[in-house]
């Protein structure tokens, strides 16, 4: 059986966080170039870290889900989970699993954007 020390676990966790941050920076540059440019590297990193905090509070843990949540932060605003009533309602629904909440957030965002067009 493999046993890791607390220090080893912290090192692995830090490495995973740095890898995710690097991937997200690349993702934001590619899919949200104007927002990324406005934020700059430091602002984008800050957004990613805030996204990690917010997703943890909403029990979203999969990297894909965290990425999507950060996408929503770019589109709807970094505090959309507190400021946007319909998003807050979805996130506060305790009868729905976190990945389904994210799917509903995405769908609602798309529907609202299409109805404005």
Decide if 65 is inside a domain. Answer: yes
Ranges in the chain, pLDDT < 50: none
pLDDT tens for residues 80-114?
A: 999 999 999 999 999 999 999 999 999 999 999 89
CA-based angle 59:42:101, to the nearest 5?
A: 20
Pairwise CA distance, residues 35 & 37, whole Å: 5
pLDDT recorded at residue 5: 67
Domain region containing 91:
7-116
- 3-state DSSP: the chain helix, strand, coil percent, rounded to 5? 80, 0, 20
Give 12-17 contacts, CB < 8 A, sequence gap 24+: 17/52
CA dihedral 49, 40, 31, 81 (to 10 degrees): 40
- Six token digits for residue 20: 């995710």
pLDDT recorded at residue 4: 54
Decide if 1 is inside a domain. Answer: no
Asked whether 72 and 105 are in contact (CB, 8 A), the reply is yes
**How many domains, in total, are found in the chain?**
1
Decide if 72 is inside a domain. Answer: yes
């Amino acid at each position: 059986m493999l046993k890791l020390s607390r220090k080893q676990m912290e090192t692995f966790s830090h490495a995973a966080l740095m890898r995710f941050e690097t991937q997200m920076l690349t993702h934001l540059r590619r899919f949200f170039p104007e927002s990324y440019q406005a934020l700059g590297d430091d602002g984008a990193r800050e957004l990613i870290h805030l996204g990690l905090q917010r997703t943890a509070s909403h029990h979203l843990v999969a990297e894909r889900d965290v990425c999507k949540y950060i996408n929503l932060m770019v589109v709807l605003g970094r505090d959309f989970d507190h400021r946007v009533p319909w998003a807050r309602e979805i996130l506060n629904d305790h009868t729905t699993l976190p990945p389904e909440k994210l799917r509903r957030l995405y769908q609602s965002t798309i529907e609202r954007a299409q109805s404005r067009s």
